[in-house]
């Protein structure tokens, strides 16, 4: 119930209209990856999913933030069922551990919501992707990669602000990425980022 | 006297509902008769509009009948949605964020709260005086001078059109007109009905005999024939509805004329803004429908003029 209320509330606040260019009813496991410009991003993708898919879509988030305070802990654990990863020490080993944790926690049912830029953009432009999504796709070649373009969320709740301005936004689910497994890292990341940028011009 | 004992009010509401029933039947018959591709699109569009009018009429009647507070809340919501559409299309920058937050969550409710407590003095200057100074100041504090004049002007205009002007519709309930006590809902009803009828009749006249365009670069559908025919007919209907107003028949006709001319101007101005922003509808975000601003563009500019004429000539 809390989940439905949260989803409805955030869709209302962000006046969101949702477009689908992939099958919104398919129960296939997916990695939804979006452009990152606001704290509202993951909750918007999560809210835009139909309830059945929402129940199995788990955002990837930082443990340090979501384990502070009882409310956040409850939301992350029970409502969003977030995959909480360690941040802070940026070593290759900890990065690999985080990717392996994501691949493992997906199991054979869940989907993930990730933001490959790793940080929020201020002006809404899509920055370079970090390599995490490439390694994740290598570990889980069986799942679909779906680009999700979020429009205007950087104006609703920009980086550094704590109060939202209720403008209208759009959530566009693109067609699944066709990765053939032969792409090297740079080519894969360019392809994934390109697919997201392409959605920007959807009317 | 409750509203249902007010026979003029009942007659107005009944008349509108009867009109909608007739329109729905006509639309249904048209949709069965028409066969050509283009005709079908037009008829579908007309039927969609009729359904929208049903919705609008029902919401408006229920709000008016339920009482002053509900009416004020309804218009608060309308302002809020209109402002959201306006601001979404405006080229704002991060430096506007706090001023915009104020516009939505403080200024808009405050403007309607002033109607609720019937503080006319502050109601009439809150946005044009106090907030134009305050919000511009708030924007300077963000320190971003890029397009500063445009940004502050846009924010101010958004508030004027979407909140200040529209708030003059429920503000009609504040007016104390001798011999017309507790009947102000009909003043509001008259305004909204005349604006809507004028839109319809201009559309009908324009479609039937419209040739000379008023402003082809702004609104290709507006023709002089449509405007004059629509405004003329609506003025006559307005005069014929004098019994629902505190006006004499000729005065009611004059009021209807002013309302329709203002509504026509409003439609043009809002179209010009849309052209400037490169969109067809304010609600292009919502598939298939226009937005709130597309629905209320004529009302925006008619409401304050009608309010002040009524206040100046009829209220105590």
- Say if the Cβ atoms of B84 and A15 lie within 8 Å: yes
Q: Indicate if B92 and B215 belong to the same structural domain.
A: no
What distance in Å separates the CA atoms of residue B207 and residue B11, rounded to the nearest whole number?
30
Q: Indicate if B213 and B167 belong to the same structural domain.
A: no
Longest dimension (CA), chain A: 45
pTM value? Answer: 0.90
Q: What average pLDDT does this structure show over A11-27?
A: 85
Residue B241 tokens, joined: 């509805």
pLDDT digits (tens, 9 = 90+) for A182-203: 788 999 999 999 999 999 887 6
Residue B289's pLDDT is: 53
Closest CA to B155 of B86, B233, B65: B86
Closest CA to B267 of B310, B209, B223: B223
Mean pLDDT over all residues of chain B?
A: 91
What distance in Å separates the CA atoms of residue A56 and residue A186, rounded to the nearest whole number?
30
pLDDT at residue A64 tops 90: no
Number of Cβ within 10 Å of residue B27's Cβ equals 18
Q: Indicate if B118 and B33 belong to the same structural domain.
A: no
What distance in Å separates the CA atoms of residue A139 and residue B78, rounded to the nearest whole number?
50
- Say if the Cβ atoms of A167 and B101 lie within 8 Å: no
| Chain A: closest CA distance from residue B71 (Å) | 22
CB A151 within 8 A of CB A183: no
Residue B37 tokens, joined: 């591709």
Residue A123's pLDDT is: 82
Closest chain B residue by Cα to residue A166: B84
- Say if the Cβ atoms of A168 and B285 lie within 8 Å: yes
For residue B293, name the pLDDT band (cuts at 50, 70, 90).
Answer: confident
Contacts of B210 (CB under 8 A, 6+ apart): B223, B224, B225, B226
CB B200 within 8 A of CB B298: no
Mean pLDDT over all residues of chain A?
A: 89
Dihedrals phi, psi of B298, to nearest 5 degrees: -70, -35
| Chain A: closest CA distance from residue B292 (Å) | 13
Query: Which residues in chain A are closer than 8 Å to B98, comparing Cβ atoms?
Result: 161, 163
Closest chain A residue by Cα to residue B104: A165
pLDDT digits (tens, 9 = 90+) for A31-48: 999 999 999 999 999 999
Which domains, ranges and CATH numbers included, belong to chain A?
Answer: 2-199 (3.40.1130.10)
pLDDT at residue A178 tops 80: no
pLDDT at residue B75 tops 90: yes
What distance in Å separates the CA atoms of residue B210 and residue B205, rounded to the nearest whole number?
7
pLDDT at residue A21 tops 60: yes
Q: Indicate if B304 and B253 belong to the same structural domain.
A: yes
What distance in Å separates the CA atoms of residue B200 and residue B206, rounded to the nearest whole number?
10
- Say if the Cβ atoms of A165 and B97 lie within 8 Å: yes
Longest dimension (CA), chain B: 62
Question: What's the total number of domains in chain B?
Answer: 3
Q: Indicate if B242 and B147 belong to the same structural domain.
A: no
Q: Indicate if B46 and B76 belong to the same structural domain.
A: no
Residue B112 tokens, joined: 């309607």
Report H helices in B105-221.
108-116, 120-125, 132-141, 148-159, 184-209
What distance in Å separates the CA atoms of residue B107 and residue B123, rounded to the nearest whole number?
11
Q: Indicate if B169 and B78 belong to the same structural domain.
A: yes
Residue B286's pLDDT is: 43
- Say if the Cβ atoms of A166 and B285 lie within 8 Å: no
Q: Indicate if B60 and B98 belong to the same structural domain.
A: no
Instruction: Give bridge partners of residue A85 from the DSSP assignment.
Output: A62
Q: How far is CA B132 from the centre of its chain?
A: 22
B161-164: long-range pairs with CB below 8 Å, 24+:
B161/B82, B161/B86, B161/B270, B161/B300, B162/B79, B162/B82, B162/B83, B162/B86, B162/B293, B162/B300, B163/B79, B163/B82, B163/B83, B163/B103, B163/B107, B163/B108, B163/B111, B163/B127, B164/B111, B164/B127, B164/B128, B164/B304
Closest CA to A81 of A17, A180, A2: A2
CB B290 within 8 A of CB A21: no
Residue B287's pLDDT is: 43
Residue A11's pLDDT is: 83
Q: Indicate if B75 and B56 belong to the same structural domain.
A: no
CB-based contact (8 Å) between B87 and chain A?
yes
What distance in Å separates the CA atoms of residue B21 and residue B33, rounded to the nearest whole number?
19
Q: Indicate if B227 and B114 belong to the same structural domain.
A: no
Residues 261-300 of B with CB under 8 A from A: 285-287
Closest chain A residue by Cα to residue B106: A165
Domain end point (choices B174, B196, B226): B174
Closest CA to B12 of B237, B189, B255, B233: B189
CB B229 within 8 A of CB B265: no
Residue A180's pLDDT is: 67
- Residue B268: give the domain boundaries: 182-316
Residue B267's Cβ-side half-sphere holds a number of Cα atoms within 13 Å equal to 23
pLDDT digits (tens, 9 = 90+) for B88-133: 988 888 899 999 999 999 999 999 999 999 999 999 999 999 999 9
Contacts of B145 (CB under 8 A, 6+ apart): none
CB A122 within 8 A of CB A158: yes
CB-based contact (8 Å) between A168 and chain B?
yes
pLDDT at residue B45 tops 50: yes
- Say if the Cβ atoms of A168 and B85 lie within 8 Å: yes
Domain end point (choices B174, B192, B221): B174
- Quickly tell me which residue has 């802990």 as its tokens: A73
For residue A49, name the pLDDT band (cuts at 50, 70, 90).
Answer: very high
Domain end point (choices B150, B174, B198): B174
| Chain A: closest CA distance from residue B59 (Å) | 20
- Quickly tell me which residue has 């023709």 as its tokens: B223
ipTM surpassing 0.90, yes or no?
no
Q: Indicate if B160 and B201 belong to the same structural domain.
A: no
Number of Cβ within 10 Å of residue A88's Cβ equals 9
Q: Indicate if B92 and B51 belong to the same structural domain.
A: no
């Amino acid at each position: 119930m809390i989940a439905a209320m949260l989803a409805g509330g955030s869709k209302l606040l962000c006046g969101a209209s949702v477009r689908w260019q992939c099958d919104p009813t398919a129960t296939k496991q997916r990695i939804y990856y979006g452009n990152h410009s606001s704290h509202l991003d993951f909750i918007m993708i999560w809210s835009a999913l139909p309830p059945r898919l929402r129940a199995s879509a788990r955002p990837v988030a930082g443990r340090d933030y979501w384990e502070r305070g009882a409310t956040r802990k409850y939301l992350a654990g029970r409502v969003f069922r977030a995959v909480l990863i360690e941040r802070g020490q940026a070593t290759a080993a900890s990065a690999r551990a985080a990717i392996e944790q994501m691949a493992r926690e997906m199991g054979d049912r869940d989907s993930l919501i990730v933001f490959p830029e790793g940080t929020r953009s201020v002006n809404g432009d899509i920055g370079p992707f970090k390599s995490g999504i490439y390694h994740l796709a290598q570990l889980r070649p069986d799942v679909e990669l779906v680009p999700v373009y979020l429009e205007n969320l950087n104006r609703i709740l920009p980086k550094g602000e704590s109060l939202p301005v209720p403008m209208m936004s759009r959530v566009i689910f693109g067609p699944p990425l066709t990765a053939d497994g032969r792409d090297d890292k740079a080519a894969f990341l360019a392809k994934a980022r390109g697919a997201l940028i392409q959605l920007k011009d959807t009317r | 006297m409750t509203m249902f004992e007010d026979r003029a009010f009942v007659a107005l509401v009944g008349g509108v509902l009867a009109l909608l029933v007739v329109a729905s039947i006509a639309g249904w018959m048209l949709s069965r008769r028409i066969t050509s591709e283009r005709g079908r699109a037009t008829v579908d569009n007309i039927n969609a509009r009729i359904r929208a009018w049903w919705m609008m009429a029902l919401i408006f009647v229920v709000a008016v009948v339920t009482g002053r507070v509900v009416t004020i809340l309804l218009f608060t919501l309308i302002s809020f949605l209109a402002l959201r559409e306006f601001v979404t299309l405006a080229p704002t920058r991060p430096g506007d964020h706090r001023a915009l937050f104020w516009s939505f969550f403080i200024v808009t409710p405050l403007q309607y709260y002033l109607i609720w407590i019937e503080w006319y003095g502050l109601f009439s200057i809150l946005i044009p005086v106090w907030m134009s100074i305050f919000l511009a100041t708030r924007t300077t504090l963000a320190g971003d001078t890029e397009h500063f004049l445009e940004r502050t002007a846009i924010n101010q205009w958004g508030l004027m059109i979407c909140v200040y002007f529209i708030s003059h519709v429920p503000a009609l309930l504040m007016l104390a007109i001798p011999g017309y006590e507790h009947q102000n809902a009909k003043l509001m009803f008259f305004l909204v009905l005349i604006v809507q009828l004028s839109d319809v009749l201009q559309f009908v006249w324009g479609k039937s005999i419209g040739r000379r365009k008023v402003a082809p670069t702004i609104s290709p559908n507006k023709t002089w024939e449509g405007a004059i025919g629509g405004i003329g007919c609506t003025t006559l209907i307005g005069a014929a509805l004098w019994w629902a107003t505190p006006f004499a028949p000729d005065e009611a006709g004059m009021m209807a004329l002013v309302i329709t001319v203002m509504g026509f101007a409003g439609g043009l101005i809002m179209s010009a803004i849309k052209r400037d922003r490169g969109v067809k509808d304010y609600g292009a975000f919502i598939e298939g429908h226009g937005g709130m601003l597309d629905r209320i563009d004529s009302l925006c500019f008619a409401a304050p003029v009608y309010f002040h004429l009524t206040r100046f000539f009829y209220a105590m």
